[in-house]
Amino acid sequence: MALLGPAGLGPGSRGPLDEAVVAAEGREAAALEAAGAALEDDEEDDGRGRGLLRWDSFSAWLHCVCVVGFDLELGQAVEVIYPQHSKLTDKEKTNICYLSFPDSNSGCLGDTQFCFRFRQSSGRRVSLHCLLDQFDKDLPVYLKKDPAYFYGYVYFRQVRDKTLKRGYFQKSLVLISKLPYIHFFHTVLKQIAPEYFEKNDPYLEAACNDVDRWPAPVPGKTLHLPIMGVVMKVRIPTCHDKPGTTQIVQLTQQSDTNISVILPTVHEVDLFRCFCPVFFHSQMLWELVLLGEPLVVMAPSPSESSETVLALVNCISPLKYFSDFRPYFTIHDSEFKEYTTRTQAPPSVILGVTNPFFAKTLQHWPHIIRIGDLKPAGEIPKQVKVKKLKNLKTLDSKPGVYTSYKPYLNRDEEIIKQLQKGVQQKRPSEAQSVILRRYFLELTQSFIIPLERYVASLMPLQKSISPWKSPPQLRQFLPEEFMKTLEKTGPQLTSRIKGDWIGLYRHFLKSPNFDGWFKTRRKEMTQKLEALHLEALCEEDLLLWIQKHTEVETVDLVLKLKNKLLQADREHLPVKPDTVEKLRTHIDAIILALPEDLQGILLKTGMT
């Protein structure tokens, strides 16, 4: 009789070492969470004796904080990295230097905020703080950390100063993080950057110490985050939240009277403000982003370019945009040659640029959005037109969407009328954003529901799961079989929009977004099968089974069951806690039924 165990698990446990590592990780993770749990736990403020643990809570939110200044001889240079033990490679420092300053042609006087994203240097050692990735599993897919990229959140100040040789004070305070919480980190910078420019490094050190006392960024919990006398109240979304809803934290309790800032969102940008110049073409842009088409946003400043790129990426939510995107991209970027080469087709990426040089360098790209200055809320810019690419000569060209792309779907005139009416009635930008976000959400859901329904049908029936065989495999995704389902259960059931939906699906199935989405769904379903397999094992009378088998087979069974428990823990399988406990009880009972010499060996492996 074949014993259980999925392919690749092997006949036995790897022994106490694996389990010791897992146990150590569990203790470390619990320590990290505890370190951030108490806001007013001042006992460990002096981190001299704690080594790296001094910065564990800080590292859950930020990799480091950089100050980038302008040196007459060196140009842009990183002046300060805090905490001082933070590791950045020379390549990463160079990227941060150039991405933290607007291009000289932007003419950004005063204070400017924007965001950039850059590739992490290969070969970087994974930090122990990645234990906090356990929180990643509860995030919506579009907010999960991308291990290959850092975000940079910038507060740049440029003011006249006659005491300096250049005649200007130019400096950026930059937060480097793995977390894509754009609105949250911009709010943090608004609180600390202006004062930092007046008080310098001691103030920055104090702010970082405040961050090191924050609770861990646990999704779904209301968090109180004090920084330099201000307390921010935030809630990070979870994958269980209903898409399109924002659970705004309210001032309900008396203890909340010291809350200074309440953030309704940690990651969303002002969608309508960004789409305002192009909202006539918002549906076409949604298609281009959905299909992972190469797209360039040419804007007058990094603020406009980064906001617009982030709004585009956000418009297909709750789908994740799986290709690369750069909210602000410069000619000094380490990927400049890779992304501007003419020897191959432009890659699937969205670039935000401000340098006029790009108008020439990227004129072979198929889709270019040229925007002017974004107007304040309440003002409506003239709607840009779709123009042929050959008309784009320089960055001085008129604003417009330069493409020869023909949308698959007919334009939805209803949403355009609704937004136009809002402009005429001076509806606030926030309300317009809610309307536009709901429209994009309904469009994306209408598109994705038929795919979800078909992929769910690839799951084997529960009755086919046997505890004594490896879990069954998912059926293969067959494009033509999927296309046949669209006639009866296609997007026409939920969307009023007409057009060539079939053509849009065919194009999507070849895109990086489909590839990323399907890999994620396949992993989730495979993990579900593993969890169901564990449940099936728990329902078996294992003591009866061992009576019919040899000691060698029984020991093999115990080791494989332990491996299954290790896998459930390591891969965060969706297993009920009582299932795990029941299986541990089974293992203990089987071990006690064995001779004493074997009991001693098996109990040494822990986990029981």
**Is residue 45 scored above 60 in pLDDT?**
no
- Higher model confidence: residue 285 or residue 380? 285
Overall average pLDDT of the 599-605 stretch: 72
Give pLDDT, residue 390: 60
CA angle 413, 416, 422 (to 5 degrees): 145
Q: Please give the pLDDT value at position 443.
A: 96
55-213 has which fold?
Beta-Lactamase (3.30.450)
What are 257-301's pLDDT values in tens digits? 566 888 888 898 999 988 888 888 999 999 999 999 999 999 999
pLDDT of residue 349: 96
Domain with CATH 3.30.450.200 in the chain: 55-213
pLDDT reading at 375 higher than 70: no
What residues does CATH 3.40.50.11500 cover in the chain? 270-511
Query: Any idea which of 49-58, 171-180, 228-237 has the lowest mean pLDDT?
Result: 49-58
Is residue 389 a contact partner of residue 404, using CB atoms and an 8 Å limit?
yes
The answer, yes or no, to whether residue 19 has pLDDT greater than 90, is: no
Q: Is the model's pLDDT at 177 over the cut of 90?
A: yes
Residue-level pLDDT at 384:
65
471 vs 478, more confident: 478
More confident of the two residues 329 and 123: 329
Residue of 338, 383, 396, 386 whose CA lies nearest to 366 = 386
Q: From 65, 587, 145, 102, select the one nearest 302 (Cα to Cα).
A: 102
Half-sphere exposure in the Cβ direction for 429 (13 Å, CA) = 15
Phi, psi of 19 (to 5 degrees): -70, -35
Q: How many residues does the chain have?
A: 608
Q: What pLDDT score was predicted for residue 479?
A: 95
pTM equals 0.83
Within 8 A by CB and 6+ apart from 509, the residues are: 479, 482
Helix ranges (H only) for 7-128 are: 16-37, 56-61, 90-99
pLDDT at 570 (0 to 100): 82
Mean pLDDT of 43-51: 37
Q: What is the mean pLDDT of residues 162-180?
A: 87
What is the share, in percent, of the chain residues with pLDDT greater than 70?
81
pLDDT for position 252 = 45
379, pLDDT greater than 70: no
- Average pLDDT value for the chain: 82
Q: Is the predicted pLDDT of residue 345 greater than 80, yes or no?
A: yes
Query: Of the CATH numbers 3.40.50.11500, 3.40.50.300, 3.40.50.1000, 3.40.190.10, which one belongs to the domain with range 270-511?
Result: 3.40.50.11500
Which pLDDT tens digit goes with each residue over 81-90? 999 889 999 9
Of 227 and 568, more confident: 227
Mean pLDDT confidence for 438-467: 92
| CA-derived radius of gyration, the chain | 27
Pairwise pLDDT comparison (151 vs 583), residue with the higher score = 151
Q: Is 236 helix (H, G, I), strand (E, B) or coil?
A: coil
